[in-house]
Amino acid sequence: MALVRQVEIRTLDSFQGGMAQFYTPQSSHETMLVEVAPQTVDDLFVHHGQTDQLLVVRGSLVLVVLQNRRYDYIALSEQQPQVVQIPPGVPHGAINLSDDPCVLVNAVLRHADPHPRDYRPLKLPFPFNFEAAAAALKNLETPAIASV
């Protein structure tokens, strides 16, 4: 039986050094800076020989991942540094509902040469749920209330 690989979300470890906050770097074979335009809905696409490690450094967006025959809406923001790791073969795309561009770093792990079908848009099995995407962002922006 084949192991089904899943998307992982990791909070970055950090430490204070003087007036700067230092975050754990991500090991990679290649690092890309990606800008997602405002009010953008990206197509789903898949990589066959790489793992994406995504970190938003400016703005916010919703990463849409197709797993287990459903969409997961993962809100990412510069306010909460975390890395989303997307293994090969997992369809994903981005939604930027903001009026501002979103900038993210992709620390790519290469497992094989690029495949000719990488980055080709996939047909959506069903439409995105923009209410769910907006709710994911709202939940990210709403500070948790601690009870004492």
For the record, the structure tokens of 62 come out as: 């919703």
Report how far residue 126's alpha carbon sits from residue 144's, in angstroms, rounded to the nearest whole number: 32
Domain 27-141 has CATH 2.60.120.10: yes
What is the residue extent of each domain of the chain? 27-141
pTM of the model: 0.87
Q: How many CA atoms lie within 13 A of 3 on its CB side?
A: 4
Q: What is the pLDDT of residues 75-100, one digit of tens each?
A: 999 998 899 999 999 999 999 999 99
Buried b (16+ CB within 10 A) or exposed e, 34-52: eebeeebebebebbeebbb
pLDDT confidence of residue 143:
55
Average pLDDT over residues 52-66: 96
Report how far residue 34's alpha carbon sits from residue 23's, in angstroms, rounded to the nearest whole number: 19
Would the pLDDT of 145 be above 50? Answer: no
